[in-house]
Amino acid sequence: MAISNNGKMCPAVTSITCTMEIGVFPADEDPCYLARKAEYALRLPAMIITKLGAIRFLNQVIMSGLIKVEELKHDFLWPYKAEVVFAIREEQDVPLPMLAASQVSKQRYGDNLPQSSNPFARPSAEDAEKFGVVGIRRPDIILVKDEALRWPGRNATYFDGSVHPDNLKMLIEVKFPG
């Protein structure tokens, strides 16, 4: 996991080594938050074997699930967002996070929609063509600047024409051993 906490120790976390590969973990954030989630994920079964014999590693699923529970508990007003689906556009364009699209979500959250809970969310074919979507990416964790804004992306105009400010503080990829 990529974290640097300036020598501060995380109490009760004894089995996690955190290294920052690119950038610096924000000084105003708690690096132990992610270390605790990673430690919990490491203590549970590391993998399963499916009926077809495929091996599936669970550490990332567990860590993301723990963060998603906190997101739900805080009505998506949480600084850490796990497994946000992004529509990747042409090189000069900013990736767009896929937002909740149901009528229930739109009524409940209005203009401050959370990210889609669908891990396979995609823009419509029409929007994909219009906005130059060339791929989909789902980073492990997004850390936002302002948790009062559910938008987990950079300054951009969304598919529906709504304009959003830059709220992306850091994109974090977590690597587990094995």
pLDDT of residue 77 exceeding 60, the answer is yes
43: in domain: yes
- In a domain? residue 178: no
Specify the DSSP element, H or E, that contains 55.
Answer: strand 55-57
Q: Which residues of 63-84 are buried (b: 16+ CB within 10 A; e: fewer)?
A: bbebbbeebeeeebebbbbbbb
SS3 state at 141: strand
Question: For residue 141, which of 15, 14, 38 has the smallest C-alpha distance?
Answer: 38
Number of domains comprising the chain:
1
Are the C-beta atoms of residues 78 and 70 closer than 8 Å to each other? yes
Percent of the chain at pLDDT above 90? 62
Does position 20 have pLDDT exceeding 80, yes or no? Answer: no
> Considering the domain boundaries, does residue 130 fall inside one?
yes
Confirm whether 14 is domain-assigned.
no
Band of the pLDDT at 4, cuts 50, 70, 90? very low
**This prediction's pTM:** 0.85
Residue 49 reports pLDDT greater than 70: yes
Within a domain: residue 23? no
What is residue 143's DSSP assignment?
Answer: E
Instruction: Give pLDDT, residue 178.
Output: 67
Confidence of residue 10 (pLDDT cuts 50, 70, 90): low
Domain-located, residue 26: no
Is residue 11 included in any domain, yes or no?
A: no
Residue 107 lies in a domain: yes
As a whole number of angstroms, the distance between CA 176 and CA 44 comes to 13
Its domain, for residue 126, covers 31-172
